[in-house]
Structure 1
Amino acid sequence: MTKIAVLSDIHGNTTALNAVLEDALSLQVDEYWLLGDILMPGTGRKNILETLADLPITAQVLGNWEYSLWRACHRKLDETKPSLRYLLRQCQYIMEEVSQEEIDALQNYPLQIHRQFGDLTIGLSHHLPDKNWGRELIHLGKQEDFDRLVTDPACDIAVYGHIHQQLLRYGSGGQLILNPGSIGQPFFLSSNLRRDLRAQYMILEFDEKGLKDVDFRRVDYDVQAELQLAKDLNLPYYQVYYESLVKGIHHTHNQDLLHEIAQEQGHDAELDDWLSSNV
């Protein structure tokens, strides 16, 4: 019997991650799989990397936010676009504690890996096998895109993250496709479902016959404590983080709002100073 906790899309939410790990520990999981998007835009920095380093993580793939962090660190983002300045300012916050070498090391993980349990082959990715960003695998995605998870190469079960929603569906050949949801930033289109923003993860249990159980978990955590931590750490774009945790609304691509906040809160000036001192 093997019990695996599947973690995805932490997005720097320190308090939510700690609550999930406490829940997983109470259920006596044997190992962890990590599907990416570890840091940004939440409070976590070195502390989250150290917490994850202490876990028995046996499989890990590269998230798109790890790549965005790397691009920001190496000045490969357009400094004139508000959404990319937002990422650059988040990078500045991360690099107060995390070195460039540590950010570079996060790029070493593959986009897709496979694990074997008896006759079952399980494929793991953050999004598509060859592309860890985009909207192809949202709940309304085309069947042929989902089929790529189980045919490229072939596997019996595919597990992916990225969309911030717990999901179970099937490939055209009957293969099982699962998403554990997001620890740090659950997302729902439905306003009624959006009232429940508990941290999400998933436990898979394998025995000698195969996949015995799929347990979609939702864990309460102290949202106000996380928001207070954000204030104490002077987290950039606090208003955006507040909206995501309290209302389930994400403004990552809202150019006008991000520009307005950057001007009002002085993030543009902070970023320009940082960029000019690190040329």
Structure 2
Amino acid sequence: MVKRIAVFSDVHGNVHAFEAMLADAKKQGIDDSWFVGDLLMPGPGVKTIWQIFDELNPSVVVRGNWDDLVVNGARGKMPLVKPSRVYFARLAQYVAEHTSKDLIDRLAAWPLHRVLKVGSLTFGLSHNLPDLDMGQALFPTQPTENFDQLFEREMPDVAIYAHVHHALLRYASDERVILNPGSVGEPFNGWDRLQKDTRAHYLILDIDSQGIANLNFRHVPYDRQAELDLAKQFGVPYIYLYQRTMATGRVDTHNQELVDSQNKKYGYAEEYRNYCRHLADKK
């Protein structure tokens, strides 16, 4: 008996990419799904993203660094120490204004790391490292020793992580398997011709009694102009940056100068401060 599992991550609020992934997963006849973090922001999707997520109903969920940013920003706990922090905070405010406290609490309750057994294999899932959902230690070009850290807890046979937005299959020093499903909403590659593949990326994993029977790295097309139009319709902050992402696949999250120019143009820092004051007044 083969169990077919959709492994997905890094949706980043991209409604049309997530809808395309869901439709494709249904066509592929999946039995289950696993989510490896980063559901919301900077895209326009909040309620619709939750609806798709609940329809998939993943049996395994781990929390990503952007999930933390949503929670901290929505709760008014984002220090505005640099332009990118204003960016995260204002986007989290947008999420909070389009969802309920219960869903923010749901994000906050997700674990950083999960271990489970399917068939004869044990799988360890984390957004990045088992105890750290941020950083560049597991960027695809990093040395194998960095990836060995995925196996230091519970000794899984297969480690699955996300975060770097690259679909990936590689091996640890002892040849245990490392997988990354890539990003549904923001696939990334530093090589320009490969970056042109901006389809929704995810992984279908077939597991049978002997182990991994098949790996299918799926790339699903969707309407990026329709996604940008939706962002404009919903009044998403930083629409200029989202337009750039929809056009090229590149992101400007840490382009401090460009983000700062948008913060100043639209007064995003003051909007977030007002939001925090409103939260304080409600207590």
Which residue does the alignment assign to 1:158?
159
Determine the C-alpha separation between the residues in 2 that align with 1:133 and 1:269.
Answer: 27
For the residue of structure 2 that corresponds to 1:78, the secondary structure is coil
Give matches, 1:137-176, under 5 Å.
137-176=138-177
Determine the C-alpha separation between the residues in 2 that align with 1:80 and 1:131.
Answer: 21
CA displacement 1:16-56 (0-9 Å, x = unmatched): 00000100100110010000100011011122112212223
Which residue does the alignment assign to 1:218?
219
Give matches, 1:93-108, under 5 Å.
93-108=94-109
Query: Does structure 1 conserve the Cα–Cα contact (< 8 Å) formed by 2:185 and 2:200?
Result: yes
Letter in 1 for 2:260: H
Give matches, 1:220-259, under 5 Å.
220-259=221-260
Instruction: Say yes or no: does 1:203 pair with 2:194.
Output: no
Query: Does structure 1 conserve the Cα–Cα contact (< 8 Å) formed by 2:7 and 2:202?
Result: yes
**Gapped regions of structure 1 (runs ≥ 5):** none
Instruction: Say yes or no: does 1:32 pair with 2:33.
Output: yes
Letter in 2 for 1:260: S
| TM-score calculated relative to the size of structure 1 | 0.96
Which residue does the alignment assign to 1:42?
43
Letter in 1 for 2:253: T
User: How many positions carry a matched residue from both structures?
Assistant: 279
Letter in 2 for 1:67: D
Instruction: Say yes or no: does 1:131 pair with 2:121.
Output: no
Letter in 2 for 1:46: K
Which residue does the alignment assign to 1:2?
3
Give matches, 1:3-82, under 5 Å.
3-82=4-83
Determine the C-alpha separation between the residues in 1 that align with 2:89 and 2:130.
Answer: 27
Report the CA distance between 1:266 and its aligned residue. Answer: 4.1
Letter in 2 for 1:113: R
Letter in 1 for 2:194: L
Determine the C-alpha separation between the residues in 2 that align with 1:237 and 1:66.
Answer: 19
Which residue does the alignment assign to 2:180?
179
CA displacement 1:87-141 (0-9 Å, x = unmatched): 1110111112212332122121211111212221111110001101000000122
Report the CA distance between 1:275 and its aligned residue. Answer: 3.1
Deviates more, 1:253-262 or 1:154-163: 253-262
Report the CA distance between 1:269 and its aligned residue. Answer: 4.4
Query: Does structure 1 conserve the Cα–Cα contact (< 8 Å) formed by 2:123 and 2:156?
Result: yes
Query: Does structure 1 conserve the Cα–Cα contact (< 8 Å) formed by 2:9 and 2:182?
Result: yes
